Amino acid sequence: MSKSNPSAARATLDREPSGEAAAKLLPELFDERGRTVPWMARTVHRLYDAQGQKILDKENLAISYWYYLRVLAERGELNQLELSKRVGIASTTAVPALDNLEKRGLVQRIRDPKDRRKYYVSLREEGRRLVDDILPEFTDIHSASLDGISARDMRVFWKVAHQIEQNLIQMSKDDAALD
C-alpha cells in the first residue's frame, strides 16, 4: 500500500466530506460508508465493551474498572501514574476508580516511601481471583468475534494494526505508555 498524502486528503475532504464519495476518492482512508480507521476502531471497542459489561454485571463491576485489573494482572505493581497511562486515562480520573476498587478489596495502594505524593497499586488476592475467573469469558468473546476470519487474514490484520500503532507512537514522540 502506498503512503497516503495528508495534504491531498485534507484538500479532498474539504471538497468531498460525505461517505460514499470520500470512500471512492480515498479508499485507503475510508470504507464504503465513509468511516475512517479510528471511527471503526472506536466502534469495535465499544462493541467489545458492551459484551464485556454483560460479564462484569454479574460482579457489579464497571468495564472501565476492568482495564485497571487487567493491566495490574499483566504488569504487576505499578505506580498510579504509570497505571493511568497504561489504561489510557488521566491520572486524576484514576483516583475515584482506584478508591472504588480499593474499597471492594480488589486492589491496594501503598505510598512510595521515597516520594509521599506517589502511590503504588497492586492486585489483592480477591482482585487476582476475579481476573482469573472472568478472563476466560472475555477470551471466549474475543474468539467468537473472529469467527469466519482466516489465520492468514488475522496475520495481515496484526501486521497492519502494529504498523498503525508504530506510526502513531512516532507521531506522539513516544510520550504514550501503551500495553
| Cβ-based neighbours of 12, under 8 Å, separated by 6 or more | 22, 25, 26
Tell me the pTM.
0.77
pLDDT at 6: 55
pLDDT at 18: 62
pLDDT (tens digit per residue) in 64-109? 999 999 999 999 999 998 999 999 888 888 899 999 999 999 999 9
Q: Are 87 and 98 in contact (CB under 8 A)?
A: no
What is the per-residue DSSP string for the chain? -PPP-HHHHHHHHHH--SHHHHHHH-TTT--TTS--HHHHHHHHHHHHHHHHHHHHHTTT--HHHHHHHHHHHHH-SEEHHHHHHHHTS-HHHHHHHHHHHHHTTSEEEEEETTEEEEEEEEE-HHHHHHHHHHHHHHHHHHHHHTTT--HHHHHHHHHHHHHHHHHHHHHTTT-----
Residue 61: all three cell numbers together: 463491576
Residue 24, amino acid: K
Q: Mean pLDDT of all residues in the chain?
A: 86
Q: Which residues of the chain have pLDDT under 70?
A: 1-25, 174-179
